[in-house]
Protein backbone atom coordinates (compact mmCIF):
# COMPACT_ATOMS: atom_id res chain seq x y z
CA UNK A 1 0.00 0.00 0.00
CA UNK A 2 1.72 3.15 -1.20
CA UNK A 3 1.79 6.13 1.16
CA UNK A 4 -0.12 4.20 3.81
CA UNK A 5 0.97 6.64 6.51
CA UNK A 6 0.25 9.79 4.49
CA UNK A 7 -3.17 11.41 4.68
CA UNK A 8 -4.10 14.39 2.49
CA UNK A 9 -7.01 15.00 4.87
CA UNK A 10 -4.68 15.43 7.85
CA UNK A 11 -2.40 17.70 5.79
CA UNK A 12 -5.43 19.78 4.75
CA UNK A 13 -6.40 20.13 8.40
CA UNK A 14 -2.84 21.26 9.22
CA UNK A 15 -2.86 23.77 6.36
CA UNK A 16 -6.18 25.17 7.57
CA UNK A 17 -4.79 25.67 11.06
CA UNK A 18 -1.68 27.48 9.78
CA UNK A 19 -3.69 29.76 7.50
CA UNK A 20 -5.92 30.83 10.35
CA UNK A 21 -2.94 31.61 12.59
CA UNK A 22 -1.34 33.73 9.87
CA UNK A 23 -4.56 35.66 9.23
CA UNK A 24 -5.05 36.36 12.92
CA UNK A 25 -1.41 37.45 13.23
CA UNK A 26 -2.06 39.91 10.40
CA UNK A 27 -5.02 41.33 12.36
CA UNK A 28 -7.58 40.62 9.66
CA UNK A 29 -11.01 38.98 9.67
CA UNK A 30 -11.99 36.32 7.16
CA UNK A 31 -14.66 38.61 5.66
CA UNK A 32 -12.12 41.38 5.27
CA UNK A 33 -9.78 39.09 3.35
CA UNK A 34 -12.61 37.92 1.08
CA UNK A 35 -13.53 41.52 0.28
CA UNK A 36 -9.94 42.59 -0.33
CA UNK A 37 -9.30 39.68 -2.69
CA UNK A 38 -12.78 39.87 -4.23
CA UNK A 39 -13.38 36.26 -3.32
CA UNK A 40 -16.75 34.65 -2.76
CA UNK A 41 -18.17 35.00 0.74
CA UNK A 42 -17.00 32.13 2.90
CA UNK A 43 -13.99 31.11 0.79
CA UNK A 44 -11.44 31.94 3.49
CA UNK A 45 -13.58 30.21 6.12
CA UNK A 46 -13.74 27.08 3.97
CA UNK A 47 -9.96 27.02 3.64
CA UNK A 48 -9.53 27.54 7.39
CA UNK A 49 -12.01 24.79 8.22
CA UNK A 50 -10.37 22.32 5.80
CA UNK A 51 -13.58 22.18 3.74
CA UNK A 52 -11.79 22.92 0.47
CA UNK A 53 -10.98 19.42 -0.72
CA UNK A 54 -8.25 20.45 -3.16
CA UNK A 55 -6.75 23.80 -2.09
CA UNK A 56 -4.78 25.63 -4.78
CA UNK A 57 -1.21 26.85 -4.46
CA UNK A 58 -2.19 30.03 -6.31
CA UNK A 59 -4.79 30.86 -3.63
CA UNK A 60 -2.34 30.18 -0.82
CA UNK A 61 0.27 32.41 -2.49
CA UNK A 62 -2.22 35.27 -2.68
CA UNK A 63 -3.16 34.79 0.98
CA UNK A 64 0.47 34.84 2.10
CA UNK A 65 1.04 38.03 0.12
CA UNK A 66 -2.03 39.56 1.77
CA UNK A 67 -0.82 38.57 5.24
CA UNK A 68 2.64 39.97 4.58
CA UNK A 69 4.40 36.61 4.88
CA UNK A 70 7.71 37.09 3.08
CA UNK A 71 9.95 34.43 4.65
CA UNK A 72 10.71 32.06 1.78
CA UNK A 73 11.08 29.01 4.01
CA UNK A 74 7.59 29.51 5.46
CA UNK A 75 6.07 30.12 2.05
CA UNK A 76 7.66 27.04 0.48
CA UNK A 77 6.63 24.87 3.44
CA UNK A 78 3.01 25.96 3.05
CA UNK A 79 3.11 25.46 -0.71
CA UNK A 80 4.40 21.92 -0.17
CA UNK A 81 1.70 21.33 2.43
CA UNK A 82 -0.92 22.55 -0.06
CA UNK A 83 0.36 20.14 -2.73
CA UNK A 84 0.23 17.26 -0.23
CA UNK A 85 -3.32 18.28 0.73
CA UNK A 86 -4.34 18.06 -2.94
CA UNK A 87 -3.19 14.46 -3.36
CA UNK A 88 -5.59 11.54 -3.38
CA UNK A 89 -5.34 8.98 -0.59
CA UNK A 90 -5.00 5.28 -1.42
CA UNK A 91 -8.56 4.72 -0.16
CA UNK A 92 -10.04 6.63 -3.11
CA UNK A 93 -9.51 3.47 -5.17
CA UNK A 94 -12.40 1.95 -3.21
CA UNK A 95 -14.90 4.58 -4.29
CA UNK A 96 -16.93 7.04 -2.18
CA UNK A 97 -16.99 6.06 1.49
CA UNK A 98 -19.84 6.48 3.96
CA UNK A 99 -17.38 7.65 6.58
CA UNK A 100 -13.99 9.39 6.24
CA UNK A 101 -12.50 7.85 9.40
CA UNK A 102 -9.85 5.99 7.40
CA UNK A 103 -8.50 9.36 6.22
CA UNK A 104 -7.75 10.41 9.80
CA UNK A 105 -6.59 6.97 10.95
CA UNK A 106 -3.92 6.73 8.25
CA UNK A 107 -1.54 9.28 9.76
CA UNK A 108 -2.24 8.80 13.48
CA UNK A 109 0.76 8.02 15.67
CA UNK A 110 -1.40 6.47 18.39
CA UNK A 111 -4.88 4.96 18.20
CA UNK A 112 -6.75 4.33 21.47
CA UNK A 113 -10.00 2.54 20.75
CA UNK A 114 -12.76 1.36 23.06
CA UNK A 115 -15.28 -0.98 21.47
CA UNK A 116 -18.53 -1.92 23.17
CA UNK A 117 -20.11 -4.04 20.44
CA UNK A 118 -17.55 -4.90 17.76
CA UNK A 119 -13.92 -5.91 17.41
CA UNK A 120 -11.82 -2.94 16.21
CA UNK A 121 -11.51 -2.74 12.43
CA UNK A 122 -7.70 -2.93 12.49
CA UNK A 123 -7.93 -6.32 14.21
CA UNK A 124 -10.76 -7.94 12.27
CA UNK A 125 -10.38 -11.02 10.08
CA UNK A 126 -11.96 -10.95 6.60
CA UNK A 127 -14.76 -13.30 7.70
CA UNK A 128 -15.59 -11.17 10.72
CA UNK A 129 -15.51 -7.96 8.66
CA UNK A 130 -17.78 -9.57 6.08
CA UNK A 131 -20.27 -10.68 8.74
CA UNK A 132 -20.37 -7.17 10.22
CA UNK A 133 -21.05 -5.62 6.82
CA UNK A 134 -23.80 -8.16 6.11
CA UNK A 135 -25.47 -6.81 9.23
CA UNK A 136 -26.24 -3.63 7.30
CA UNK A 137 -29.12 -4.84 5.16
CA UNK A 138 -28.80 -1.91 2.73
CA UNK A 139 -25.47 -3.17 1.34
CA UNK A 140 -25.25 -5.57 -1.60
CA UNK A 141 -22.62 -8.31 -1.95
CA UNK A 142 -20.35 -6.32 -4.27
CA UNK A 143 -20.32 -3.33 -1.92
CA UNK A 144 -19.64 -5.59 1.05
CA UNK A 145 -16.65 -7.24 -0.63
CA UNK A 146 -15.26 -3.81 -1.52
CA UNK A 147 -15.55 -2.70 2.10
CA UNK A 148 -13.88 -5.90 3.34
CA UNK A 149 -10.93 -5.31 0.96
CA UNK A 150 -10.71 -1.73 2.20
CA UNK A 151 -10.63 -2.90 5.81
CA UNK A 152 -7.87 -5.42 5.10
CA UNK A 153 -5.88 -2.72 3.31
CA UNK A 154 -6.27 -0.42 6.33
CA UNK A 155 -4.69 -3.05 8.55
CA UNK A 156 -1.39 -2.80 6.69
CA UNK A 157 -0.48 0.28 8.75
CA UNK A 158 0.16 -2.11 11.67
CA UNK A 159 2.98 -3.78 9.71
CA UNK A 160 4.36 -0.52 8.32
CA UNK A 161 7.97 0.42 9.11
CA UNK A 162 6.60 3.18 11.34
CA UNK A 163 3.31 1.75 12.64
CA UNK A 164 0.96 3.59 14.99
CA UNK A 165 0.62 2.39 18.57
CA UNK A 166 -2.73 0.65 18.91
CA UNK A 167 -4.35 0.30 22.32
CA UNK A 168 -7.67 -1.55 22.12
CA UNK A 169 -10.10 -2.12 24.97
CA UNK A 170 -12.83 -4.54 23.88
CA UNK A 171 -15.99 -5.33 25.80
CA UNK A 172 -16.65 -9.03 26.37
CA UNK A 173 -19.96 -8.67 24.52
CA UNK A 174 -18.08 -7.99 21.29
CA UNK A 175 -15.88 -11.04 21.78
CA UNK A 176 -18.58 -13.57 22.60
CA UNK A 177 -21.12 -12.49 19.96
CA UNK A 178 -21.53 -15.31 17.46
CA UNK A 179 -20.92 -14.87 13.73
CA UNK A 180 -20.38 -17.37 10.92
CA UNK A 181 -18.90 -20.75 11.83
CA UNK A 182 -17.09 -21.75 15.00
CA UNK A 183 -13.93 -22.02 12.88
CA UNK A 184 -14.34 -18.38 11.84
CA UNK A 185 -14.84 -17.37 15.46
CA UNK A 186 -11.66 -19.17 16.53
CA UNK A 187 -9.75 -17.55 13.66
CA UNK A 188 -10.86 -14.11 14.84
CA UNK A 189 -9.88 -14.86 18.43
CA UNK A 190 -6.52 -16.13 17.24
CA UNK A 191 -6.01 -12.87 15.36
CA UNK A 192 -6.37 -11.02 18.66
CA UNK A 193 -4.12 -13.47 20.50
CA UNK A 194 -1.38 -12.97 17.90
CA UNK A 195 -1.13 -9.28 18.83
CA UNK A 196 0.84 -10.48 21.88
CA UNK A 197 3.86 -10.60 19.55
CA UNK A 198 3.40 -6.99 18.42
CA UNK A 199 5.15 -4.51 20.70
CA UNK A 200 3.06 -1.60 19.37
CA UNK A 201 -0.33 -3.29 19.95
CA UNK A 202 -2.05 -3.82 23.30
CA UNK A 203 -5.42 -5.54 23.74
CA UNK A 204 -7.49 -5.49 26.93
CA UNK A 205 -10.75 -7.32 27.61
CA UNK A 206 -13.44 -5.58 29.64
CA UNK A 207 -15.44 -8.36 31.38
CA UNK A 208 -19.23 -8.26 31.48
CA UNK A 209 -19.17 -8.65 35.26
CA UNK A 210 -17.40 -5.29 35.65
CA UNK A 211 -19.34 -2.66 37.57
CA UNK A 212 -21.20 0.01 35.54
CA UNK A 213 -18.64 2.26 33.83
CA UNK A 214 -18.50 5.27 31.44
CA UNK A 215 -17.97 2.97 28.44
CA UNK A 216 -21.60 1.86 28.60
CA UNK A 217 -22.47 5.12 26.83
CA UNK A 218 -20.80 3.94 23.64
CA UNK A 219 -17.63 3.23 21.70
CA UNK A 220 -15.07 5.86 20.76
CA UNK A 221 -11.56 6.27 19.35
CA UNK A 222 -8.86 8.77 20.31
CA UNK A 223 -6.50 9.59 17.45
CA UNK A 224 -3.18 11.21 18.39
CA UNK A 225 -0.74 12.75 15.91
CA UNK A 226 2.89 13.79 16.06
CA UNK A 227 2.30 17.23 14.52
CA UNK A 228 -1.42 17.82 14.81
CA UNK A 229 -4.07 18.13 17.55
CA UNK A 230 -5.76 14.95 18.73
CA UNK A 231 -9.25 13.90 17.63
CA UNK A 232 -12.05 11.89 19.22
CA UNK A 233 -14.14 9.84 16.81
CA UNK A 234 -17.53 8.31 17.55
CA UNK A 235 -19.06 6.06 14.91
CA UNK A 236 -22.80 6.30 14.35
CA UNK A 237 -25.30 5.69 11.59
CA UNK A 238 -26.17 7.60 9.55
CA UNK A 239 -23.54 10.16 10.64
CA UNK A 240 -20.38 9.78 12.73
CA UNK A 241 -18.85 12.64 14.71
CA UNK A 242 -15.41 14.11 15.36
CA UNK A 243 -14.41 16.27 18.32
CA UNK A 244 -11.08 18.10 18.52
CA UNK A 245 -11.51 20.55 21.40
CA UNK A 246 -8.77 20.04 23.98
CA UNK A 247 -11.21 19.76 26.90
CA UNK A 248 -13.38 17.18 25.14
CA UNK A 249 -10.37 15.12 24.06
CA UNK A 250 -8.96 15.08 27.59
CA UNK A 251 -12.34 14.03 28.98
CA UNK A 252 -12.33 11.01 26.67
CA UNK A 253 -8.72 10.29 27.54
CA UNK A 254 -9.65 10.19 31.23
CA UNK A 255 -12.56 7.83 30.48
CA UNK A 256 -10.26 5.60 28.43
CA UNK A 257 -7.81 5.41 31.32
CA UNK A 258 -10.65 4.45 33.68
CA UNK A 259 -11.75 1.72 31.29
CA UNK A 260 -8.19 0.42 31.08
CA UNK A 261 -7.99 0.21 34.87
CA UNK A 262 -11.33 -1.64 34.96
CA UNK A 263 -10.41 -4.11 32.19
CA UNK A 264 -8.17 -7.15 32.47
CA UNK A 265 -4.49 -6.37 32.00
CA UNK A 266 -2.89 -7.17 28.61
CA UNK A 267 -1.41 -10.49 29.77
CA UNK A 268 -4.63 -11.49 31.54
CA UNK A 269 -6.59 -10.54 28.42
CA UNK A 270 -4.49 -12.75 26.13
CA UNK A 271 -4.94 -15.66 28.57
CA UNK A 272 -8.70 -14.97 28.63
CA UNK A 273 -8.81 -14.98 24.82
CA UNK A 274 -6.91 -18.28 24.70
CA UNK A 275 -9.42 -19.88 27.04
CA UNK A 276 -12.32 -18.58 24.96
CA UNK A 277 -10.72 -19.80 21.71
CA UNK A 278 -10.18 -23.25 23.20
CA UNK A 279 -13.74 -23.41 24.52
CA UNK A 280 -15.15 -22.23 21.16
CA UNK A 281 -13.04 -24.69 19.18
CA UNK A 282 -14.30 -27.61 21.24
CA UNK A 283 -17.92 -27.06 20.24
CATH 1.10.3210 at 8-88, yes or no: no
- Could you state, in order of their start, the residue ranges of all structural domains in the chain? 8-88, 93-281
Report the pLDDT value the prediction gives residue 140, as an integer from 0 to 100: 84
Q: For the chain, 283 residues long, give each residue's pLDDT as a single digit of tens.
A: 445 567 899 999 999 999 999 999 999 999 999 999 999 999 999 999 999 889 999 999 999 999 999 999 999 999 999 999 999 888 888 887 777 899 999 999 999 999 999 999 999 999 999 998 887 766 788 888 999 999 999 999 999 999 999 999 999 999 998 888 899 999 999 999 999 999 999 999 999 998 889 888 899 999 999 989 999 999 877 667 889 889 999 999 999 999 999 999 999 999 999 999 999 876 6
Tell me the pTM: 0.88
Fold of 93-281: Endonuclease; Chain A (3.30.870)
Nearest alpha carbon to residue 256 among 166, 195, 184, 174? 166
Amino acid sequence: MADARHSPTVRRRRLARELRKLREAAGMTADEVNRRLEWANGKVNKLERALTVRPRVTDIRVLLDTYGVTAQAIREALFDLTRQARERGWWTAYGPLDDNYVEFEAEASKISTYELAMIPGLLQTPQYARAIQHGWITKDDEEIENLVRLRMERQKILTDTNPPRLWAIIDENALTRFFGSYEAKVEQLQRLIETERMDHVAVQVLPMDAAPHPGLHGSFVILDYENDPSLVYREARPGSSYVEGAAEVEERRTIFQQLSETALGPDESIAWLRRLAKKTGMR
